[in-house]
Amino acid sequence: MAGRSQYQIVLSDEERRELEHRAACYSRPHREVLRAKLVLYAAEGFSNVEIGRRLQMLPELVGRWRRRFYEQRIEGLSDRKRAGRPRRFPPGAGRRGQGDRVPAAQESRHSALALQPF
């Protein structure tokens, strides 16, 4: 069958509980919820194409996460450190004139009521 992976996922009871908790948790980042659902679908025997269709992901991306879970289990679902210089937030912090505050909008000298005829 197209999209069938060589990485067949078999979950322990503890892994299944943890993944079901992650998949149902609304306060977790969306990417973590999707990854948990992806592994649960893979454990049910769905192909990468079918999982991708259900989760609106590319089958290649599904295959990557399936392989990482197969090799590293739950720890494989977290993001890896990224190469390069870390992002700065807020952008421009530490530079003159670009502090950590957003400038407030200037008040208009004329109110909307004053411009309308009576």
The maximal CA–CA distance of the chain, rounded, in angstroms, is 77
A 10 A CB-CB count for 46 gives: 20
What residue type is assigned to position 40 of the chain? Answer: L
pTM value is 0.66
User: Which DSSP letter does residue 10 get?
Assistant: -
**Six-digit token string for 60:** 């290649």
pLDDT tens series, the chain, 118 aa: 455 678 888 999 999 999 999 999 889 999 999 999 999 999 999 999 999 999 999 999 999 999 999 999 988 888 787 788 877 766 665 666 555 555 566 666 655 555 566 5
Is the bond preceding residue 90 a cis peptide, omega within 30 degrees?
Answer: yes
